Amino acid sequence: MFNYLPQGLGVANELRNRRNVYEGYQRGWGLQYGGLREKILSDSLYQEAYEVAKDRTIMSPDNRMNIFLIMRFFLGKVPFGHIVEFGSYRGGSAIFMAYVAKQLYPGMKVFALDTFEGMPFVDKRVDAHNSGDFSDTDLISLQARVAELGLDNLVLVKGLFENTQASVMVQGGGFSLAHIDCDIASAVQYSYDNVKPFMINGGYIVFDDATVSSCIGATEIVEDLVIRRDGLNSEQIWPHFVFRIFK
């Protein structure tokens, strides 16, 4: 595949403080200022994956494009690992990632975790969302869509992360991409803390919501745990936070 990422950005292309700043600029600056959106929109793999996912996702276009760039151009540079998503709602972003993974990385699975019944308990000291938000979903019809699309690499896991994540981590073994898209503090904390030990070297953790105005609970976890406690610097802050896990 022709690599249409911006090149020669005048920044060192190397690891610095456990992330590659250059690669972060390629995606973030490329999308925001460097004409990457148009290039992605004319990429047939993006077009196909979006076509099968578009009626089921509320993910913003820039966030989806950034995930696409990570999968298209960067996952092949780190050791093999599966993908896990915390917060799948109607399954759109999981279907999108599974479609792309199936084309690019044979054997790579996408584990999609959700109650599939809406938000559980929330902490009203910090979460704007309410219990029961996102309950307009239907696991049976999602399963039927996944089967119809032949996405045998997509594993739908129903239940609270607190009840399902441990067995998924063991089943998957190692993860190259974790998409944390669950909006509320407790869920972001639980998923991050429990996926981190299972990330492969150089793997990507993407926080969909931590820079979104309605998700300060997610922001607080990134500030308190990822940055302050674990001392990580981000590879991207736009369109969403991206961190790398190096052992």
Ligand X SMILES: C[S@@+](CC[C@H](N)C(=O)[O-])C[C@H]1O[C@@H](n2cnc3c(N)ncnc32)[C@H](O)[C@@H]1O
66 binds ligand X (CB under 6 A): no
CB of 155 to ligand X, least distance (A): 15
236 binds ligand X (CB under 6 A): no
For residues 195-206, b (16+ Cβ closer than 10 Å) or e, as one string? bbebbbebbbbb
111 binds ligand X (CB under 6 A): no
**Sole binder of ligand X in the list 23, 43, 127, 181 (CB under 6 A):** 181
CB of 67 to ligand X, least distance (A): 10
- Total site size for ligand X, rule CB under 6 A: 21
Residue number, 45 or 212, with CB nearest to ligand X: 212
- The secondary structure element, H or E, covering residue 49 is helix 44-53
210 binds ligand X (CB under 6 A): no
Give CA separation, 200 vs 19, 79, 94, 140, 204, in Å: 14, 7, 20, 32, 9
What single letter denotes the amino acid at residue 141? S
**Sole binder of ligand X in the list 120, 143, 149, 225 (CB under 6 A):** 120
**Sole binder of ligand X in the list 119, 177, 180, 199 (CB under 6 A):** 119
Residue number, 40 or 110, with CB nearest to ligand X: 110
Cβ neighbours of residue 8 closer than 8 Å, sequence gap 6 or more? none
Give CA separation, 234 vs 57, 78, 106, 140, 192, in Å: 25, 17, 29, 37, 15
**What is the token pair recorded at 62?**
């820039």
- Using CA atoms, how far apart are residues 14 and 11, in angstroms rounded to an integer? 9
127 binds ligand X (CB under 6 A): no
DSSP type of residue 142: H
234 binds ligand X (CB under 6 A): no
Piece of the chain touching ligand X by CB under 6 A; list 3-11, 20-28, 115-123, 198-206: 115-123
Site mask, ligand X, residues 69-108, x = CB under 6 A? ------------------xxx--xx---------------
> ω before 239 within 30° of 0 (cis)?
yes
61 binds ligand X (CB under 6 A): no
The residue written with tokens 């309950």 in the block is 135
Residue number, 43 or 85, with CB nearest to ligand X: 85
Residue number, 59 or 84, with CB nearest to ligand X: 59
Residue number, 21 or 49, with CB nearest to ligand X: 49
| DSSP 3-state of 117 | coil
DSSP type of residue 236: B
157 binds ligand X (CB under 6 A): no
- Using CA atoms, how far apart are residues 87 and 105, in angstroms rounded to an integer? 23
118 binds ligand X (CB under 6 A): yes
- Using CA atoms, how far apart are residues 217 and 172, in angstroms rounded to an integer? 28
User: What residue ranges bind ligand X (CB under 6 A)?
Assistant: 57-59, 87-89, 92-93, 114-115, 118-120, 134, 160-161, 181-184, 187
